[in-house]
Amino acid sequence: MPELPEVETVARQLDRVLPGRILRGLQVRDPKLAHLESLAGSLGGARLGRIRRSGKRVILPLEDEGSVRGWLAVHLRMTGRLLLVEEGAAEPAPARLCLELDRGRLLFADTRRFGTVDWLTRPAELAPPGLDPFDPACTPTALAELARAARAPLKSWLLDQKRVCGLGNIYVCEILHACRLSPWRAAGSLEPAQWRLLHREMRRILRLAIENCGTTFSDFQDSRGLEGSFGRMLQVYGRAGAACPRCGAVVQRETQAQRGSWWCPGCQE
DNA sequence: ACGCAGACCTGTACGC
DNA sequence: TGCGTACAGGTCTGCG
């Protein structure tokens, strides 16, 4: 489910309440996360630091007297959720992992079990794989340079996290529609003005989605168990057969690189 | 460098 | 109601 705005939403919410809380215990409830079992004994008493996003991962630092012991890096993949459960409250969903805190618990719930949690100890491992859209280094020129001579379709190119990180299927479809660019267009064929437009629309749409706490298409929930409201603003994603809000043509869905692409043949080229 | 198939998992929606 | 099928926001590996 989660792309950059959803991960950012979760990280911001957790950052308001988690820093300073003490980890009392760690329960691994899914054998797929058995690699974390050795941490259960060693991390007791550690203090949570500032929570942030790196690419599509949520980073939870664990500290000791101000020095960082390491970072839990959570990738939510399709159905992962980080849910904060206050003292005494019932667990809203089956959890794969439970961090017991001095007050309450943080659950990692994840129906499809694709999500990952890694214990990182080297700062270099925290870096996102590609350019973050909000990184000052991510400029229209930098994007154009990265895509120079790329023949890959624009959509596949943008989904590759090693280039730009944070975009997923929903936001790529929405950004390309906003720019009037076809998902099938070769990435290396854009003019400088189109890269400027893409850069601007990418940031605008992601920022708007963050303000709306993300998109709940089927199962995204934030750390409070609430849905995001950006779904109401979708122009093309999931709207095959509907009229394009801009030109009125019928929105199409076609499979591209094994995934659905939604776009408007009337105004995207 | 790229596309594609298949994996990893489970739930939901839809057609018959 | 029940069964089968398609599909889902992500990413990896292996093959051509």
pLDDT at A239: 93
Instruction: Give distance CA A40 / C1' B1 (Å).
Output: 43
Nearest nt to the A186 alpha carbon by C1': B2
Cβ distance A55 to A130 under 8 Å?
Answer: yes
Q: What are phi and psi of A148, to 5 degrees?
A: -55, 125
Instruction: Give distance CA A224 / C1' C1 (Å).
Output: 36
Cα–Cα distance measured from residue A75 to residue A98, given in angstroms and rounded to the nearest whole number: 15
Residues of chain A with CATH 1.10.8.50: 140-263
Burial class (CB in 10 A: 0-12, 13-18, 19+), A192: exposed
CATH of A140-263, one of 1.10.3720.10, 1.10.8.50, 3.40.190.10, 3.90.1640.10: 1.10.8.50
pLDDT at A220: 82
Cβ distance A142 to A131 under 8 Å?
Answer: yes
Q: Which run of H or E residues covers position A60?
A: strand A57-64
Nearest nt to the A1 alpha carbon by C1': C9
Six token digits for residue A121: 């100890």
pLDDT at A218: 73
Of A108, A105, A118, A114, which Cα lies nearest the Cα of A54?
A118
Six token digits for residue A173: 């479809």
User: What residue type is assigned to position A26 of the chain?
Assistant: L
Q: Is the CB of A53 under 7 A from strand C?
A: no
Residues of chain A with CATH 3.20.190.10: 4-126
Architecture of domain A4-126: Alpha-Beta Barrel (3.20)
Cα–Cα distance measured from residue A179 to residue A202, given in angstroms and rounded to the nearest whole number: 9
pLDDT at A200: 97
The phi-psi region of residue A248 (left if phi > 0; otherwise alpha if psi is between -120 and 50; otherwise beta) is: left
Per DSSP, the three-state class of A265 is: coil
Question: Would you please indicate which residues of A are annotated as catalytic (active-site) residues?
Answer: 2-3, 56, 259
What length does chain A have? 269
pLDDT at A1: 61
**pLDDT tens, N- to C-terminus, chain A (269 residues):** 699 999 999 999 999 999 999 999 999 999 999 999 999 899 999 999 999 999 999 999 999 987 999 999 999 999 999 999 999 999 999 999 999 999 999 999 999 999 999 999 999 999 999 999 999 999 999 999 999 989 999 999 999 999 999 999 999 999 999 999 999 999 999 999 999 999 999 999 999 999 999 998 777 888 888 889 999 999 999 999 999 999 999 999 999 988 999 999 999 99
Instruction: Give distance CA A66 / C1' B7 (Å).
Output: 42
List C-alpha distances in Å: A242 to A32, A52, A82, A94, A249: 41, 37, 34, 37, 8
Of A232, A189, A194, A238, which Cα lies nearest the Cα of A213?
A232
